[in-house]
A and B are shown apart, each in its own frame.
Chain A
Amino acid sequence: MPAILAKNISKNYGEIEALKDVSFQVNDGELFGLIGPDGAGKSTLFRVLTTLLLADKGTGEVVGHPIVSEYKEIRKKVGYMPGKFSLYQDLSVEENLRFFATIFGTTIEENYSLIKDIYIQIEPFRKRLAGNLSGGMKQKLALCCALIHKPKVLFLDEPTTGVDAVSRKEFWEMLQRLKEKGIAILVSTPYMDEAELCQRIALIQNGAILETNTPQNLKKSYGHPLYAVKSKDTYNLLKSLREAHYTRSVLPFGEFLHLSTNRPMEIEQIKNDLTRKGFPGIEVKKIEATVEDVFLELSETEALKTERP
Protein backbone atom coordinates (compact mmCIF):
# COMPACT_ATOMS: atom_id res chain seq x y z
CA MET A 1 0.00 0.00 0.00
CA PRO A 2 1.53 3.32 -1.06
CA ALA A 3 1.62 6.17 1.47
CA ILE A 4 0.18 8.56 -1.08
CA LEU A 5 -1.52 7.91 -4.37
CA ALA A 6 -2.73 10.66 -6.67
CA LYS A 7 -4.59 9.81 -9.86
CA ASN A 8 -5.40 12.36 -12.55
CA ILE A 9 -6.06 15.20 -10.13
CA SER A 10 -7.21 18.50 -11.63
CA LYS A 11 -8.23 21.68 -9.87
CA ASN A 12 -9.28 25.02 -11.31
CA TYR A 13 -9.69 28.37 -9.61
CA GLY A 14 -11.99 30.18 -11.98
CA GLU A 15 -10.09 30.25 -15.24
CA ILE A 16 -6.76 29.34 -13.70
CA GLU A 17 -5.81 25.68 -14.00
CA ALA A 18 -3.95 25.16 -10.75
CA LEU A 19 -3.53 21.40 -11.23
CA LYS A 20 -3.70 19.57 -14.54
CA ASP A 21 -4.10 15.81 -14.47
CA VAL A 22 -1.56 15.18 -11.73
CA SER A 23 -0.67 11.56 -10.97
CA PHE A 24 2.09 10.21 -8.75
CA GLN A 25 2.74 7.85 -5.91
CA VAL A 26 4.78 8.04 -2.73
CA ASN A 27 5.83 4.67 -1.36
CA ASP A 28 5.77 3.63 2.24
CA GLY A 29 8.66 5.19 4.12
CA GLU A 30 9.82 7.18 1.13
CA LEU A 31 11.21 10.73 1.14
CA PHE A 32 9.61 12.24 -1.93
CA GLY A 33 10.24 15.75 -3.20
CA LEU A 34 7.87 17.95 -5.14
CA ILE A 35 10.16 20.42 -6.88
CA GLY A 36 8.89 23.56 -8.55
CA PRO A 37 8.70 27.35 -8.34
CA ASP A 38 6.04 29.55 -6.74
CA GLY A 39 2.72 29.20 -8.51
CA ALA A 40 3.47 25.71 -9.85
CA GLY A 41 0.54 24.21 -7.92
CA LYS A 42 2.45 22.61 -5.04
CA SER A 43 0.32 24.06 -2.23
CA THR A 44 -2.94 23.27 -4.02
CA LEU A 45 -1.84 19.66 -4.40
CA PHE A 46 -0.94 19.52 -0.71
CA ARG A 47 -4.34 20.90 0.24
CA VAL A 48 -6.13 18.34 -1.92
CA LEU A 49 -4.14 15.44 -0.48
CA THR A 50 -4.52 16.58 3.13
CA THR A 51 -8.32 16.74 2.57
CA LEU A 52 -8.57 20.52 2.96
CA LEU A 53 -9.66 21.16 -0.61
CA LEU A 54 -11.79 19.18 -3.06
CA ALA A 55 -10.31 18.42 -6.46
CA ASP A 56 -12.46 19.01 -9.55
CA LYS A 57 -11.37 15.72 -11.07
CA GLY A 58 -9.35 12.70 -10.12
CA THR A 59 -8.94 10.52 -7.06
CA GLY A 60 -6.40 10.01 -4.35
CA GLU A 61 -5.53 7.84 -1.40
CA VAL A 62 -3.47 8.50 1.68
CA VAL A 63 -2.39 5.49 3.74
CA GLY A 64 -5.03 3.49 1.89
CA HIS A 65 -7.91 5.86 2.61
CA PRO A 66 -9.70 7.61 -0.27
CA ILE A 67 -9.25 11.36 0.15
CA VAL A 68 -12.93 12.25 -0.10
CA SER A 69 -14.92 9.46 1.55
CA GLU A 70 -12.47 8.76 4.37
CA TYR A 71 -11.07 12.19 5.02
CA LYS A 72 -11.54 11.88 8.76
CA GLU A 73 -9.25 8.85 8.95
CA ILE A 74 -6.62 10.64 6.90
CA ARG A 75 -6.63 13.66 9.17
CA LYS A 76 -5.78 11.43 12.13
CA LYS A 77 -2.88 9.81 10.34
CA VAL A 78 -1.05 12.62 8.62
CA GLY A 79 1.05 15.51 9.82
CA TYR A 80 0.85 18.70 7.79
CA MET A 81 3.14 21.68 7.91
CA PRO A 82 1.69 24.42 5.71
CA GLY A 83 3.90 26.85 3.82
CA LYS A 84 2.76 29.74 5.96
CA PHE A 85 3.59 29.59 9.67
CA SER A 86 0.26 28.53 11.16
CA LEU A 87 0.85 27.95 14.85
CA TYR A 88 -0.62 30.13 17.56
CA GLN A 89 1.66 33.14 17.82
CA ASP A 90 0.34 34.10 21.24
CA LEU A 91 0.83 30.67 22.77
CA SER A 92 4.25 29.65 24.02
CA VAL A 93 6.35 26.95 22.38
CA GLU A 94 5.27 24.41 24.96
CA GLU A 95 1.60 25.45 24.86
CA ASN A 96 1.47 25.04 21.09
CA LEU A 97 2.92 21.57 21.29
CA ARG A 98 0.60 20.55 24.14
CA PHE A 99 -2.37 21.97 22.22
CA PHE A 100 -1.67 19.87 19.13
CA ALA A 101 -1.00 16.75 21.21
CA THR A 102 -4.33 17.18 23.02
CA ILE A 103 -6.27 17.73 19.80
CA PHE A 104 -5.01 14.40 18.52
CA GLY A 105 -5.80 12.67 21.83
CA THR A 106 -2.22 12.11 22.88
CA THR A 107 0.38 13.71 25.12
CA ILE A 108 3.83 15.16 24.56
CA GLU A 109 5.25 12.47 26.82
CA GLU A 110 3.74 9.60 24.83
CA ASN A 111 5.49 10.43 21.57
CA TYR A 112 8.41 12.37 22.92
CA SER A 113 10.96 10.00 21.41
CA LEU A 114 9.87 10.99 17.92
CA ILE A 115 10.41 14.71 18.40
CA LYS A 116 13.19 14.62 20.97
CA ASP A 117 16.06 15.37 18.53
CA ILE A 118 14.26 18.42 17.22
CA TYR A 119 12.55 19.58 20.38
CA ILE A 120 15.70 19.75 22.51
CA GLN A 121 16.95 22.47 20.15
CA ILE A 122 14.03 24.73 21.02
CA GLU A 123 13.39 23.52 24.56
CA PRO A 124 15.48 26.32 26.13
CA PHE A 125 12.84 28.70 24.70
CA ARG A 126 9.79 26.65 25.68
CA LYS A 127 8.23 29.57 27.61
CA ARG A 128 8.69 32.00 24.70
CA LEU A 129 5.67 32.97 22.58
CA ALA A 130 5.77 31.30 19.19
CA GLY A 131 5.38 34.70 17.51
CA ASN A 132 8.71 35.81 18.97
CA LEU A 133 10.79 32.90 17.63
CA SER A 134 13.33 33.24 14.81
CA GLY A 135 12.52 31.71 11.43
CA GLY A 136 14.61 28.60 12.03
CA MET A 137 13.06 27.97 15.44
CA LYS A 138 9.51 28.49 14.19
CA GLN A 139 10.17 25.89 11.58
CA LYS A 140 11.43 23.39 14.16
CA LEU A 141 8.40 23.99 16.37
CA ALA A 142 6.03 23.56 13.43
CA LEU A 143 7.71 20.26 12.59
CA CYS A 144 7.34 19.08 16.21
CA CYS A 145 3.64 19.98 16.17
CA ALA A 146 3.16 18.10 12.90
CA LEU A 147 4.85 15.03 14.41
CA ILE A 148 3.41 14.91 17.91
CA HIS A 149 0.61 12.44 17.05
CA LYS A 150 3.04 10.04 15.36
CA PRO A 151 1.69 10.39 11.82
CA LYS A 152 2.26 7.77 9.12
CA VAL A 153 2.76 10.41 6.46
CA LEU A 154 4.22 13.86 6.75
CA PHE A 155 3.28 16.68 4.35
CA LEU A 156 5.78 19.54 4.41
CA ASP A 157 4.91 22.46 2.18
CA GLU A 158 8.02 24.54 1.46
CA PRO A 159 9.50 24.11 4.93
CA THR A 160 12.78 25.76 3.93
CA THR A 161 11.61 28.80 1.96
CA GLY A 162 13.16 32.00 3.26
CA VAL A 163 15.31 30.04 5.68
CA ASP A 164 19.08 30.53 5.63
CA ALA A 165 21.49 27.92 4.27
CA VAL A 166 22.52 26.64 7.70
CA SER A 167 18.98 26.04 8.95
CA ARG A 168 18.09 24.48 5.61
CA LYS A 169 20.88 21.96 5.96
CA GLU A 170 19.89 21.11 9.55
CA PHE A 171 16.28 20.72 8.50
CA TRP A 172 17.16 18.19 5.80
CA GLU A 173 19.27 16.25 8.29
CA MET A 174 16.18 16.03 10.51
CA LEU A 175 14.13 14.73 7.59
CA GLN A 176 16.67 12.00 6.88
CA ARG A 177 16.37 10.83 10.49
CA LEU A 178 12.56 10.86 10.35
CA LYS A 179 12.64 8.80 7.17
CA GLU A 180 14.72 6.21 8.98
CA LYS A 181 11.93 5.97 11.55
CA GLY A 182 9.62 4.79 8.77
CA ILE A 183 7.59 7.93 8.19
CA ALA A 184 6.76 8.67 4.56
CA ILE A 185 7.47 12.29 3.71
CA LEU A 186 6.17 14.44 0.88
CA VAL A 187 8.14 17.68 0.86
CA SER A 188 7.90 20.57 -1.57
CA THR A 189 10.63 23.07 -2.29
CA PRO A 190 11.60 25.71 -4.82
CA TYR A 191 15.31 24.99 -4.14
CA MET A 192 16.59 22.67 -6.84
CA ASP A 193 19.66 21.64 -4.85
CA GLU A 194 17.38 20.07 -2.23
CA ALA A 195 16.07 17.66 -4.85
CA GLU A 196 19.28 15.66 -4.52
CA LEU A 197 18.40 14.84 -0.92
CA CYS A 198 15.15 13.05 -1.85
CA GLN A 199 14.79 9.41 -2.86
CA ARG A 200 12.49 10.32 -5.71
CA ILE A 201 11.24 13.62 -7.01
CA ALA A 202 8.53 15.03 -9.23
CA LEU A 203 9.23 18.23 -11.14
CA ILE A 204 6.14 20.42 -11.26
CA GLN A 205 5.49 23.55 -13.32
CA ASN A 206 2.28 25.40 -14.21
CA GLY A 207 0.10 22.79 -12.52
CA ALA A 208 1.52 19.79 -14.38
CA ILE A 209 4.10 17.21 -13.43
CA LEU A 210 6.95 17.30 -15.94
CA GLU A 211 8.75 14.18 -14.78
CA THR A 212 8.94 11.74 -11.87
CA ASN A 213 12.13 9.85 -11.15
CA THR A 214 15.08 9.39 -8.82
CA PRO A 215 17.42 12.39 -8.88
CA GLN A 216 20.15 10.14 -10.32
CA ASN A 217 18.05 8.89 -13.24
CA LEU A 218 16.67 12.31 -13.89
CA LYS A 219 20.15 13.73 -14.24
CA LYS A 220 21.16 10.91 -16.57
CA SER A 221 18.14 11.65 -18.76
CA TYR A 222 19.63 14.98 -19.83
CA GLY A 223 20.40 14.19 -23.44
CA HIS A 224 22.92 16.82 -24.56
CA PRO A 225 26.62 17.49 -24.10
CA LEU A 226 27.06 19.90 -21.19
CA TYR A 227 30.06 22.05 -20.25
CA ALA A 228 30.82 24.46 -17.43
CA VAL A 229 32.55 27.59 -18.69
CA LYS A 230 34.08 30.37 -16.64
CA SER A 231 35.78 33.68 -17.26
CA LYS A 232 36.22 36.89 -15.28
CA ASP A 233 33.63 38.69 -17.36
CA THR A 234 30.56 36.48 -16.91
CA TYR A 235 28.04 38.87 -18.43
CA ASN A 236 29.86 39.39 -21.71
CA LEU A 237 30.80 35.72 -21.89
CA LEU A 238 27.11 34.88 -21.63
CA LYS A 239 26.25 37.29 -24.44
CA SER A 240 29.05 35.97 -26.62
CA LEU A 241 28.22 32.30 -26.06
CA ARG A 242 24.60 32.92 -26.91
CA GLU A 243 25.72 33.87 -30.42
CA ALA A 244 28.10 30.91 -30.90
CA HIS A 245 27.02 28.48 -33.62
CA TYR A 246 27.57 25.42 -31.42
CA THR A 247 25.35 26.69 -28.58
CA ARG A 248 22.00 25.06 -27.82
CA SER A 249 21.51 26.94 -24.58
CA VAL A 250 23.69 28.79 -22.14
CA LEU A 251 22.60 29.66 -18.61
CA PRO A 252 24.34 31.05 -15.51
CA PHE A 253 24.98 28.55 -12.70
CA GLY A 254 26.85 30.26 -9.90
CA GLU A 255 30.40 31.09 -10.92
CA PHE A 256 30.07 29.01 -14.12
CA LEU A 257 27.93 29.18 -17.19
CA HIS A 258 26.39 25.89 -18.22
CA LEU A 259 26.79 25.50 -21.94
CA SER A 260 24.73 22.90 -23.74
CA THR A 261 25.98 22.30 -27.29
CA ASN A 262 24.25 20.91 -30.35
CA ARG A 263 27.09 18.42 -30.92
CA PRO A 264 29.88 16.89 -28.83
CA MET A 265 32.82 19.27 -28.60
CA GLU A 266 36.45 19.04 -27.54
CA ILE A 267 37.17 21.20 -24.53
CA GLU A 268 40.08 22.76 -26.43
CA GLN A 269 37.72 23.73 -29.24
CA ILE A 270 35.54 25.79 -26.91
CA LYS A 271 38.55 27.24 -25.14
CA ASN A 272 40.23 28.32 -28.37
CA ASP A 273 37.08 29.85 -29.75
CA LEU A 274 36.51 31.94 -26.63
CA THR A 275 40.15 32.95 -26.29
CA ARG A 276 40.05 34.13 -29.89
CA LYS A 277 36.95 36.17 -29.05
CA GLY A 278 38.91 37.99 -26.38
CA PHE A 279 38.17 36.16 -23.13
CA PRO A 280 41.47 35.46 -21.36
CA GLY A 281 41.89 32.72 -18.73
CA ILE A 282 38.92 30.70 -19.91
CA GLU A 283 38.13 27.58 -17.89
CA VAL A 284 36.07 24.80 -19.51
CA LYS A 285 35.11 21.37 -18.19
CA LYS A 286 32.71 18.67 -19.24
CA ILE A 287 30.04 18.11 -16.58
CA GLU A 288 27.06 15.97 -15.65
CA ALA A 289 23.71 17.72 -15.58
CA THR A 290 22.21 18.81 -12.26
CA VAL A 291 18.51 18.55 -11.40
CA GLU A 292 18.26 22.26 -12.14
CA ASP A 293 19.65 21.75 -15.67
CA VAL A 294 16.97 19.14 -16.27
CA PHE A 295 14.24 21.34 -14.85
CA LEU A 296 15.29 24.25 -17.04
CA GLU A 297 15.35 21.97 -20.06
CA LEU A 298 11.90 20.52 -19.39
CA SER A 299 10.09 23.62 -18.26
CA GLU A 300 8.82 26.41 -20.33
CA THR A 301 8.12 29.61 -18.60
CA GLU A 302 5.46 32.15 -19.32
CA ALA A 303 7.91 34.89 -18.50
CA LEU A 304 10.28 33.84 -21.27
CA LYS A 305 7.61 33.65 -23.92
CA THR A 306 7.33 37.43 -23.87
CA GLU A 307 10.96 37.77 -24.86
CA ARG A 308 10.13 36.97 -28.46
CA PRO A 309 6.71 38.41 -29.15
Chain B
Amino acid sequence: MSEQAIKVEGLTKRFGDFTAVDTISFQVEKGEIFGFLGANGAGKTTAMRMLIGLSKPTEGQGFVAGFDINTQAEKIKKNIGYMSQKFSLYNDLTVKENIRFYGGIYGLSKSRISEKTEDILAELRLFEVAKKPVRELPLGWKQRLSFAISMVHDPDIVFLDEPTGGVDPHVRRQFWETIYQQANAGRTIFVTTHYMDEAEYCNRVSIMVDGKIAALDTPDQLKKQFNSKSMDEVFLKLARNV
Protein backbone atom coordinates (compact mmCIF):
# COMPACT_ATOMS: atom_id res chain seq x y z
CA MET B 1 0.00 0.00 0.00
CA SER B 2 1.21 3.49 -0.68
CA GLU B 3 0.45 6.82 0.92
CA GLN B 4 -0.14 8.58 -2.40
CA ALA B 5 -3.30 8.27 -4.46
CA ILE B 6 -1.15 7.59 -7.51
CA LYS B 7 2.50 6.65 -7.66
CA VAL B 8 4.07 5.45 -10.91
CA GLU B 9 7.69 4.80 -11.90
CA GLY B 10 9.08 4.35 -15.36
CA LEU B 11 5.66 3.69 -16.83
CA THR B 12 6.02 2.79 -20.52
CA LYS B 13 3.70 1.59 -23.24
CA ARG B 14 4.84 0.47 -26.65
CA PHE B 15 2.70 -0.49 -29.61
CA GLY B 16 5.04 -2.37 -31.93
CA ASP B 17 8.03 -0.09 -32.41
CA PHE B 18 6.05 3.02 -31.43
CA THR B 19 6.50 4.24 -27.87
CA ALA B 20 3.26 5.95 -26.87
CA VAL B 21 4.23 6.50 -23.23
CA ASP B 22 7.92 6.76 -22.51
CA THR B 23 9.10 6.04 -18.93
CA ILE B 24 6.96 8.50 -17.03
CA SER B 25 7.17 8.83 -13.25
CA PHE B 26 5.02 10.94 -10.98
CA GLN B 27 2.97 10.96 -7.81
CA VAL B 28 -0.39 12.42 -6.94
CA GLU B 29 -1.08 13.24 -3.30
CA LYS B 30 -4.35 12.42 -1.61
CA GLY B 31 -6.91 15.21 -1.91
CA GLU B 32 -5.04 16.86 -4.75
CA ILE B 33 -6.58 18.20 -7.97
CA PHE B 34 -4.10 16.98 -10.54
CA GLY B 35 -4.31 18.26 -14.13
CA PHE B 36 -3.05 15.93 -16.84
CA LEU B 37 -2.44 17.90 -20.03
CA GLY B 38 -0.93 17.25 -23.40
CA ALA B 39 -1.47 17.83 -27.10
CA ASN B 40 -3.54 15.33 -29.10
CA GLY B 41 -1.37 12.30 -29.64
CA ALA B 42 1.07 13.10 -26.81
CA GLY B 43 0.17 9.87 -25.01
CA LYS B 44 -2.29 11.19 -22.43
CA THR B 45 -5.05 8.71 -23.15
CA THR B 46 -2.68 5.75 -23.27
CA ALA B 47 -1.17 6.76 -19.94
CA MET B 48 -4.57 7.22 -18.39
CA ARG B 49 -5.73 3.80 -19.62
CA MET B 50 -2.83 2.22 -17.77
CA LEU B 51 -3.71 4.12 -14.60
CA ILE B 52 -7.33 3.00 -14.60
CA GLY B 53 -6.58 -0.65 -15.23
CA LEU B 54 -7.65 -0.85 -18.87
CA SER B 55 -4.21 -1.38 -20.36
CA LYS B 56 -1.13 -3.17 -19.11
CA PRO B 57 2.16 -1.27 -19.05
CA THR B 58 4.94 -2.65 -21.26
CA GLU B 59 7.37 -1.59 -18.55
CA GLY B 60 7.32 0.20 -15.24
CA GLN B 61 5.28 -0.07 -12.12
CA GLY B 62 2.90 1.83 -9.97
CA PHE B 63 0.06 1.98 -7.55
CA VAL B 64 -3.34 3.58 -7.97
CA ALA B 65 -5.65 3.81 -4.96
CA GLY B 66 -3.29 1.43 -3.21
CA PHE B 67 -3.37 -1.31 -5.86
CA ASP B 68 -0.65 -2.52 -8.19
CA ILE B 69 -1.33 -1.54 -11.82
CA ASN B 70 0.50 -4.64 -13.07
CA THR B 71 -1.24 -7.26 -10.99
CA GLN B 72 -4.42 -5.76 -9.52
CA ALA B 73 -6.12 -4.05 -12.46
CA GLU B 74 -9.53 -5.43 -11.49
CA LYS B 75 -9.21 -4.03 -7.97
CA ILE B 76 -8.27 -0.65 -9.39
CA LYS B 77 -11.37 -0.58 -11.58
CA LYS B 78 -13.55 -1.27 -8.54
CA ASN B 79 -11.92 1.36 -6.39
CA ILE B 80 -11.71 4.38 -8.65
CA GLY B 81 -14.33 6.65 -10.18
CA TYR B 82 -14.28 7.46 -13.88
CA MET B 83 -16.19 9.99 -15.93
CA SER B 84 -15.78 11.20 -19.47
CA GLN B 85 -17.98 13.15 -21.82
CA LYS B 86 -18.08 10.31 -24.27
CA PHE B 87 -19.22 7.64 -21.89
CA SER B 88 -21.44 8.53 -19.04
CA LEU B 89 -25.14 7.96 -18.49
CA TYR B 90 -27.79 5.89 -20.21
CA ASN B 91 -30.12 8.37 -21.87
CA ASP B 92 -33.08 5.98 -21.97
CA LEU B 93 -32.93 5.22 -18.27
CA THR B 94 -34.34 7.61 -15.68
CA VAL B 95 -32.18 9.45 -13.20
CA LYS B 96 -32.99 6.89 -10.51
CA GLU B 97 -32.42 3.93 -12.81
CA ASN B 98 -29.01 5.24 -13.78
CA ILE B 99 -28.01 5.52 -10.13
CA ARG B 100 -29.33 2.02 -9.42
CA PHE B 101 -27.60 0.59 -12.48
CA TYR B 102 -24.18 1.96 -11.59
CA GLY B 103 -24.68 1.17 -7.92
CA GLY B 104 -25.37 -2.42 -8.97
CA ILE B 105 -22.35 -2.55 -11.27
CA TYR B 106 -20.13 -1.50 -8.37
CA GLY B 107 -21.71 -4.16 -6.17
CA LEU B 108 -23.50 -1.90 -3.68
CA SER B 109 -26.16 -3.52 -1.51
CA LYS B 110 -29.81 -2.65 -2.12
CA SER B 111 -30.03 -0.58 1.02
CA ARG B 112 -26.81 1.25 0.18
CA ILE B 113 -28.16 2.01 -3.30
CA SER B 114 -31.32 3.57 -1.88
CA GLU B 115 -29.26 5.64 0.56
CA LYS B 116 -27.01 6.79 -2.25
CA THR B 117 -29.99 7.58 -4.46
CA GLU B 118 -31.48 9.80 -1.76
CA ASP B 119 -28.11 11.49 -1.18
CA ILE B 120 -27.51 12.25 -4.85
CA LEU B 121 -31.06 13.45 -5.51
CA ALA B 122 -30.90 15.70 -2.46
CA GLU B 123 -27.49 17.10 -3.17
CA LEU B 124 -28.22 17.89 -6.81
CA ARG B 125 -31.85 18.81 -6.12
CA LEU B 126 -33.12 16.37 -8.68
CA PHE B 127 -36.16 14.96 -6.83
CA GLU B 128 -38.60 16.45 -9.31
CA VAL B 129 -36.98 14.82 -12.30
CA ALA B 130 -35.96 11.56 -10.63
CA LYS B 131 -38.34 9.56 -12.80
CA LYS B 132 -37.55 11.31 -16.05
CA PRO B 133 -35.27 9.78 -18.65
CA VAL B 134 -31.84 11.36 -18.47
CA ARG B 135 -32.20 12.37 -22.13
CA GLU B 136 -34.62 15.13 -21.07
CA LEU B 137 -32.23 16.80 -18.64
CA PRO B 138 -30.25 19.91 -19.58
CA LEU B 139 -26.57 19.22 -20.24
CA GLY B 140 -25.44 20.86 -17.01
CA TRP B 141 -27.59 18.61 -14.84
CA LYS B 142 -26.53 15.53 -16.77
CA GLN B 143 -22.95 16.40 -16.21
CA ARG B 144 -23.24 16.84 -12.48
CA LEU B 145 -25.33 13.70 -12.23
CA SER B 146 -22.70 11.85 -14.20
CA PHE B 147 -20.01 13.14 -11.82
CA ALA B 148 -22.06 12.13 -8.76
CA ILE B 149 -22.66 8.68 -10.21
CA SER B 150 -18.97 8.21 -10.91
CA MET B 151 -18.56 8.49 -7.13
CA VAL B 152 -21.51 6.26 -6.22
CA HIS B 153 -19.14 3.71 -4.62
CA ASP B 154 -17.23 6.40 -2.68
CA PRO B 155 -13.88 6.01 -4.42
CA ASP B 156 -10.85 7.83 -3.01
CA ILE B 157 -9.85 8.98 -6.47
CA VAL B 158 -11.86 10.05 -9.52
CA PHE B 159 -10.57 10.27 -13.08
CA LEU B 160 -12.22 12.92 -15.23
CA ASP B 161 -11.47 12.66 -18.93
CA GLU B 162 -12.25 16.00 -20.60
CA PRO B 163 -15.37 16.45 -18.53
CA THR B 164 -16.28 19.93 -19.73
CA GLY B 165 -15.80 20.04 -23.53
CA GLY B 166 -18.23 22.36 -25.30
CA VAL B 167 -20.13 23.16 -22.15
CA ASP B 168 -21.77 26.47 -21.27
CA PRO B 169 -19.32 28.71 -19.36
CA HIS B 170 -21.70 28.94 -16.40
CA VAL B 171 -22.01 25.19 -16.23
CA ARG B 172 -18.26 24.75 -16.58
CA ARG B 173 -17.71 26.93 -13.52
CA GLN B 174 -20.40 25.24 -11.54
CA PHE B 175 -18.83 21.92 -12.39
CA TRP B 176 -15.43 23.06 -11.19
CA GLU B 177 -16.96 24.17 -7.94
CA THR B 178 -18.20 20.64 -7.32
CA ILE B 179 -14.68 19.44 -8.11
CA TYR B 180 -13.28 21.83 -5.48
CA GLN B 181 -15.89 20.61 -3.03
CA GLN B 182 -14.87 17.00 -3.51
CA ALA B 183 -11.17 17.80 -3.23
CA ASN B 184 -11.85 19.81 -0.09
CA ALA B 185 -13.53 16.73 1.34
CA GLY B 186 -10.33 14.76 0.73
CA ARG B 187 -11.07 13.07 -2.57
CA THR B 188 -8.30 12.99 -5.18
CA ILE B 189 -9.18 14.36 -8.61
CA PHE B 190 -7.24 13.45 -11.75
CA VAL B 191 -8.46 15.52 -14.68
CA THR B 192 -7.64 16.03 -18.35
CA THR B 193 -8.80 19.12 -20.22
CA HIS B 194 -8.16 21.20 -23.32
CA TYR B 195 -9.19 24.39 -21.53
CA MET B 196 -6.03 26.06 -20.32
CA ASP B 197 -7.89 28.27 -17.85
CA GLU B 198 -9.04 25.08 -16.16
CA ALA B 199 -5.44 24.01 -15.81
CA GLU B 200 -5.13 27.00 -13.47
CA TYR B 201 -7.76 25.50 -11.17
CA CYS B 202 -5.55 22.48 -10.50
CA ASN B 203 -3.15 22.21 -7.56
CA ARG B 204 -0.51 20.71 -9.84
CA VAL B 205 -0.35 20.16 -13.55
CA SER B 206 1.68 17.80 -15.70
CA ILE B 207 2.17 18.37 -19.42
CA MET B 208 2.94 15.46 -21.70
CA VAL B 209 4.89 15.96 -24.90
CA ASP B 210 5.80 13.08 -27.17
CA GLY B 211 5.11 10.36 -24.62
CA LYS B 212 7.12 12.03 -21.83
CA ILE B 213 6.16 14.31 -18.99
CA ALA B 214 7.81 17.53 -20.10
CA ALA B 215 6.81 19.59 -17.07
CA LEU B 216 5.13 19.02 -13.74
CA ASP B 217 4.49 21.62 -11.07
CA THR B 218 1.97 24.07 -9.67
CA PRO B 219 0.53 26.44 -12.29
CA ASP B 220 2.38 29.35 -10.61
CA GLN B 221 5.74 27.59 -10.71
CA LEU B 222 5.23 26.47 -14.32
CA LYS B 223 4.55 30.02 -15.38
CA LYS B 224 7.71 31.17 -13.62
CA GLN B 225 9.75 28.32 -15.04
CA PHE B 226 8.67 29.03 -18.62
CA ASN B 227 8.57 32.77 -18.18
CA SER B 228 4.93 32.90 -19.27
CA LYS B 229 1.88 34.90 -18.27
CA SER B 230 -0.63 32.08 -18.60
CA MET B 231 -0.83 28.31 -18.73
CA ASP B 232 -1.82 28.70 -22.35
CA GLU B 233 1.58 30.22 -23.07
CA VAL B 234 3.37 27.50 -21.07
CA PHE B 235 1.53 24.84 -23.01
CA LEU B 236 2.29 26.40 -26.39
CA LYS B 237 5.97 26.84 -25.55
CA LEU B 238 6.28 23.19 -24.55
CA ALA B 239 4.12 21.55 -27.15
CA ARG B 240 5.39 23.56 -30.10
CA ASN B 241 9.02 22.74 -29.46
CA VAL B 242 8.54 19.10 -30.30
Contacts and interface: CB of A to CB of B under 8 A. Distances in A.
Interface of A: 37-39, 134-136, 158, 161-167, 169, 190-193, 205, 234-235, 238, 251-255, 292, 295-296, 299, 301-304, 306-307, 309
B230 interface: yes
A296 B170 CA distance: 7
B168 A301 contact: yes
A301 B140 contact: yes
A275 to B, nearest CB: 20
Given A238-B177, A295-B169, 13 more contacts: A136-B41, A162-B162, A162-B194, A164-B239, A165-B39, A165-B239, A169-B236, A205-B168, A252-B177, A254-B201, A255-B220, A303-B168, A304-B140
Contacts of B194: 162-165
Given A166-B39, A253-B197, A235 B180 contact: yes
A255 B231 CA distance: 9
B167 interface: yes
Chain B contact patch, size range: 35 or more
Nearest to A163: B40
Contacts of B171: 37, 301, 303-304
**Central interface residue in B125, B139, B194, by most chain A CB within 10 Å:** B194
A159 B198 CA distance: 21
B169 A254 contact: no
B230 A254 contact: yes
A166 B170 contact: no
B196 interface: yes
Nearest to B143: A303
B120 to A, nearest CB: 14
Contacts of A190: 165-167
Contact of B167 (A37, A238, A251): A37
Contact of A165 (B138, B167, B184, B232): B232
Contact of B169 (A37, A164, A166): A37
Contacts of B173: 251-252
A136 B139 contact: no
Q: Which of A192, A252, A304 has the most CB of B within 10 A?
A: A252
Contacts of B38: 164
B165 A161 contact: yes
B200 A255 contact: yes
B240 A166 contact: yes
A252 B201 contact: yes
Contacts of B176: 252
A213 B40 CA distance: 33
A303 B40 contact: no
Contacts of B220: 255
A293 B236 CA distance: 24
Contact of B219 (A191, A255, A295, A302): A255
Contacts of A167: 39-40
B200 A254 contact: yes
B235 interface: yes
B226 interface: no
B66 to A, nearest CB: 26
A164 B173 CA distance: 20
A303 to B, nearest CB: 3
A38 B198 CA distance: 18
B174 interface: yes
Contact of B39 (A162, A164, A235, A296): A164
B41 A37 contact: no
A161 B41 CA distance: 15
Contacts of B102: none
A295 B201 CA distance: 20
Contacts of B231: 254
Nearest to B128: A309
